[in-house]
Homo-oligomer: A and B are copies of this chain.
């Protein structure tokens, strides 16, 4: 009966219930579910979303909102034992406004990050958010999970791109339209509160995002280092030479590069002389009066002179630049496609603690499982190093899987002891609820639960996720 009502609201083509149609809605980048989805409902506008919410509320069936489902935390899937309606924003794809005087882009929640970046670029502007899932992840999901990525160092997380939000509340009422203001001190900032709330407080239907000047030039290099401590020296030096022009600063261990090379069947090293660590450094200029090449060259000369950098490759063309990024992105891809179990983490620590964090994680992992391989890579400029722990050569998958929870917890505990977080950018979803409870104090958890109750007293939105 509820399905018929959904069809009235969004049209027949907007509702999916056949098992073969639901197959595409059962997984994100980490999790997979076999059942629990009563229907996938695909509204085309905000009023349809509101009517779907009112219908679900009347029928006391929970809603899991879904963007591109590129997340890592199970946030867009039901948890086992639930029966839910998946509300997909995939048909909400309008760019409502692109204003190059105010530098504001207003878009429906279902627009992909990639298509919005392209629209901004076509207007000579930059949308300062980018990550590996840009091609299919939806802007509503990027907002709801406060997505990060490769350029956070310069442009910030999704949160820092947001000016306003449109959302449907649990009682079916709508906050609309998204504010486009640079400055607005008019009560509690609901947009900032919804950003990162992972679909547990409201369903995002549109966002207003700030745009920035488009980069005119880039300089990119892969630089060899002997340790993560040298990476921090390089970061400080780079800021001294190029100020805020640094747009990416990604650290990779030799072992992570080697893993990618083996996976991708790449023979050629990104560095002529392999070093224990490498940094992918990229700077972007938004003014033709910034001599980026001169600054980049002077920085590298000084870094070599001070023995911070011990080798490297500067991209001489866009093709070479893509080649260097292919290494960095290839590591994550190789890890994602591995046919064996590994422990994946998304911790962050204060930037200066990165070297200690890496050393302690390596020691803790090999102490628990001798021979296992901790491979570190990630956004060192933000303190967000992903350390994945791979099994010792020859260990059976099930045996290593048995160590998974303990290893994962050990990494989290080291991060927390350094004032860090168990989730830097991937969020909590269903997978990190226990870790979140270890991380937060009782008053923080109490406040979050009180906020959840204030927005969604009946637990309609994304139950079993975050603190809901």
Q: Which one of B185, B239, B352, B423 contacts A145 once the chains associate, using CB atoms below 8 Å? A: B185
Are B99 and A185 touching (Cβ within 8 A)? Answer: no
Chain B residues, Cβ within 8 Å of A145: 185
Are A440 and B286 touching (Cβ within 8 A)? Answer: no
* Copies of this chain present: 2
Are B159 and A244 touching (Cβ within 8 A)? Answer: no
Q: A324 → chain B, closest Cβ, in Å? A: 22
Known contacts A192-B159, A352-B101, A213 near B183 by CB under 8 Å: no
In chain A, positions 337-360 with a C-beta closer than 8 Å to chain B are: 348-352
Q: How far apart are the CA atoms of A183 and B185 in the complex, in Å?
A: 24
Are A441 and B352 touching (Cβ within 8 A)? Answer: no
Chain B residues, Cβ within 8 Å of A201: 188
Are A175 and B444 touching (Cβ within 8 A)? Answer: yes
Are A440 and B241 touching (Cβ within 8 A)? Answer: no
Interface-located stretch among A255-263, A305-313, A397-405, A425-433: A425-433
Chain B residues, Cβ within 8 Å of A325: none
A31 within 8 A of B: no
A331 within 8 A of B: no
Are A152 and B183 touching (Cβ within 8 A)? Answer: yes
Chain B residues, Cβ within 8 Å of A169: 443, 447
A436 within 8 A of B: yes
Chain B residues, Cβ within 8 Å of A419: 177, 179-181
Q: A242 → chain B, closest Cβ, in Å? A: 5
A131 within 8 A of B: no
- Best-buried of A244, A448, A453 by chain B (most CB within 10 Å): A244
Chain B residues, Cβ within 8 Å of A427: 185
A232 within 8 A of B: yes
Known contacts A180-B419, A183-B421, A448 near B188 by CB under 8 Å: yes
Can you name 9 extra interface pairs (CB under 8 A) apart from A146-B185, A159-B192, A213-B243?
A99-B352, A101-B351, A181-B350, A187-B445, A213-B240, A243-B287, A244-B244, A288-B295, A447-B454
